[in-house]
Chain A
């Protein structure tokens, strides 16, 4: 597969993931489409072009780790795990149902999920723990963690940021889904995050700023992050909340509500 073909493959996968996200949340009747859709391109690329893993052997000791710190966007995680072959795709439609292995927020009952999340701000620390374990064991696996922009208002994130730089965790790559919205409104109005890039740099991180919907830029960013030594990297990805569904884009309305039957039909049509 050449670069062009790879990007076409990833774009097609991303579209498929978006369809699954809409279908799952619609079927469940609740969930968080906005942030799932904004991080779809970033994490689809990670799963199908970057991550070293074996869905048939989820506990392979040398696997790269992925952790979704913004656990409310788990429909994306579940869709990616099913598409990768960790479990069958028909399970996806049990999201949030009683007895389902796909909980409303992720936990370790789901094959391929390393750690629970949902209470925001803890995932970067969990990833840091995985990164330190690799260092102790002298293993070369990498650790990736997805964070939301509203999430980094949590103080725990900055404690972890300080520690990851202190321990020179160059096997750790954070991905920030900077879609600019949180439940109560735009991040700049609720609790301004700027200046964001210099903040992470000041904490000792290597920063890579990209368009989080451009596959070419996404792939380059992951590649670049692998080469950074002696410090952790963060990909600060500018994204569009609700990306891919016109009426969900750049609005907080679909942060945490399921589409109606009519909205689902419209959304899926746009994602054909």
Chain B
């Protein structure tokens, strides 16, 4: 299976977009080599601004550029984009409905060796609480390009969440449409809803479940806002339970989003694969996935438990 860094795809896509649209401006805060905005900087130095280690200024400056007609892409690690500059995201970017695309890299526990200070496990919750901003968590490299292009074409603020490690490119996802989730496997026993790198982990769980005679429907919920409520409710009606998988705290992210929809419309048992009231720590991403119960085996166990206890 092909493995790609989402960040590499992002950097290349930015260059491609920058060639076609002179109004695209890119900002970074001293991480352009890690986020890969450096590729754009090399190609279009007059439309790239590095703000040094100062994320709050970068975020509010992005709003100023956007209200002056620019399509602004800005990048830093997810922990800083969402946490350090949250008030600027809220008041300068989202309240103005400014055309700013926050592409946050190094999200989640899979940051690995850098440890807890750099592992954003709260960013989706922080972004989901703010009006106006659209949120995408692409599952692989290919989808990263699609998400970045969709953001460029759609006016208004975006938060696109990317990871640090290489991720396998998933086959047969179908077309990418903002706000329309993708069904990767069909099944009527149980539904697994995942985003980001957890989609490939969930895919492995689907295989294990199949071996046990359980047919799982796997949904790639790449867009958290606007959320595809229809596909969630269809799954709630047609299968016996839902397991939500995300590389994020169980509070406020994808699991919460799914919970909110079913609780209000069609109460359904929802199991949550995510980080439970803990900070991360250093380690190899695969070891961390196991330690925090995010591995395919945990997803499989959760699905079996869900089926056992369902009405």
Residues of A within 8 A of B (CB): 61, 65, 67, 107-108, 114-119, 121-123, 125-134, 136-137, 155-156, 159-160, 162-163, 166-167
Contact = CB atoms under 8 A, between A and B. Distances in A.
Nearest to A139: B68
Given A116-B91, A125-B56, A133 B96 contact: no
Nearest to A135: B46
Contacts of A129: 60-68
Nearest to B22: A136
Contacts of B70: 133, 136
Nearest to B59: A125
Contacts of A128: 57, 61, 64
A127 B59 CA distance: 12
Contacts of A167: 49
10 contacts: A114-B67, A119-B87, A119-B92, A121-B56, A126-B60, A136-B47, A136-B70, A156-B57, A159-B56, A159-B57
Given A115-B96, A116-B95, A159 B62 contact: no
A164 to B, nearest CB: 9
Contacts, number: 107
Contacts of A163: 51-52, 54, 57, 61
A130 B68 contact: yes
Contact of A126 (B51, B64, B90, B97): B64
A65 B64 CA distance: 10
Nearest to A143: B64
B51 A159 contact: yes
B25 interface: yes
B25 A136 contact: yes
Contact of B64 (A61, A115, A119): A115
Interface string B67-104: 11110000000000000000110111001111000000
B45 to A, nearest CB: 11
A49 B90 CA distance: 34
A129 B65 CA distance: 4
Contacts of B46: 136
B interface bracket (residues with beta carbon within 8 Å of A): 20 to 34
Given A108-B96, A115-B92, A167-B49, A122 B60 contact: yes
Given A108-B97, A133-B70, 15 more contacts: A107-B96, A115-B96, A116-B92, A119-B90, A122-B56, A125-B56, A125-B64, A126-B61, A129-B64, A129-B68, A132-B61, A132-B65, A156-B56, A162-B54, A163-B54
Contacts of A130: 64-65, 67-68
Contact of A122 (B47, B51, B68, B92): B92
A130 B69 CA distance: 9
A22 B238 CA distance: 63
B51 to A, nearest CB: 6
Contacts of B95: 107, 116
B102 to A, nearest CB: 15
Contacts of B96: 107-108, 115-116
Contacts of A160: 57, 60-61
Contacts of B67: 108, 114-115, 126, 129-130
A172 B52 CA distance: 20
Given A125-B64, A130-B68, A136-B46, A162 B91 contact: no
Contacts of B25: 132-133, 136
B52 A162 contact: yes
Contacts of A123: 60
A162 B87 CA distance: 20
Contacts of A125: 56-61, 63-64, 88, 92
Nearest to B55: A159
Nearest to B64: A129
Contacts of B49: 132, 167
B63 A115 contact: yes
B311 to A, nearest CB: 46
Contacts of B90: 119
7 cross-chain pairs, A with B, having the tightest CB-CB distances, nearest first: A129-B64, A125-B60, A133-B68, A159-B57, A159-B54, A126-B64, A129-B65
A163 B56 CA distance: 12
Nearest to A122: B60
Nearest to A107: B95
A126 B57 contact: no
A133 B25 CA distance: 9
Contacts of A115: 63-64, 67, 92, 96, 98
Nearest to B92: A122
Contacts of A119: 87, 90-92
